[in-house]
Structure 1
Amino acid sequence: MATGTAESPATLYAPVSLGLGVVAVVLSFFLAVFALLAGALAVTFGVLGLVSRVPVNRTQCYIGLAAGAVGVLLPLFFLFAYTGGL
């Protein structure tokens, strides 16, 4: 497989980031540990999609990046708000 072709695995970064970001936001209300994991992966795949040279859907990368950040920060906010800290 040649680098930068349409069949490159890098074309999956955007949809995976978007999917994991949505999962992270939903899980942040129920299972915070899994939300942190899914959010971190969404942010990682979003950044990889934005810096890849393969043409990807950048809108999905941006939305996945934002949703992943919310999925990471929301459980941390709940932790600090309801427990008074760590």
Structure 2
Amino acid sequence: MATGSADSPATLYGPASIVLGTLALIAAVFAGFIGIAIPLLFGSLAVTFALLGLARKLNRGQCTVGLATGSLSMLYPIFLTAVLSA
């Protein structure tokens, strides 16, 4: 048995953060129709999985993309609400 095997569930942090971040960004674009709960939920999960993946140093490129898309999808509805309410 090898130490540091790549066949652990932790290797899925990168792909999960990309998928959730992309879904969150798409949902953020349609936040006026579906509300801001879905982009915030998917975005926070994408950021969480990306940070866990970056901490384990697995799939760093995928985790970085997931972190960026998750962050944007969380900030976009908040920024849009702030701009439209003023």
Q: Which residue of 2 aligns with 1:25?
A: 25
1:36 aligned residue (34, 40, 43)? 40
- Asked if 1:46 is matched to 2:42, the reply is no
Separation in 2, partners of 1:48, 1:12: 10
Q: What displacement does 1:3 show?
A: 7.2
Please tell me the residue identity of whatever aligns with 2:50: G
4+ residue runs of structure 1 moved beyond 6 angstroms?
none
**CA 1:10–1:3: 2 relative to 1, 3 Å:** farther
Root-mean-square deviation (Å): 1.6
Separation in 2, partners of 1:4, 1:83: 51
Please tell me the residue identity of whatever aligns with 1:4: G
Separation in 1, partners of 2:3, 2:71: 30
Separation in 2, partners of 1:34, 1:3: 39
- The TM-score normalised by the length of structure 2 is 0.86
Aligned length: 81
Please tell me the residue identity of whatever aligns with 1:29: V
- Asked if 1:64 is matched to 2:66, the reply is yes
Separation in 1, partners of 2:21, 2:27: 10
Residue aligned with 1:76, SS: helix
Residue aligned with 1:39, SS: helix
Q: Which residue of 2 aligns with 1:80?
A: 82
**CA 1:57–1:79: 2 relative to 1, 3 Å:** same
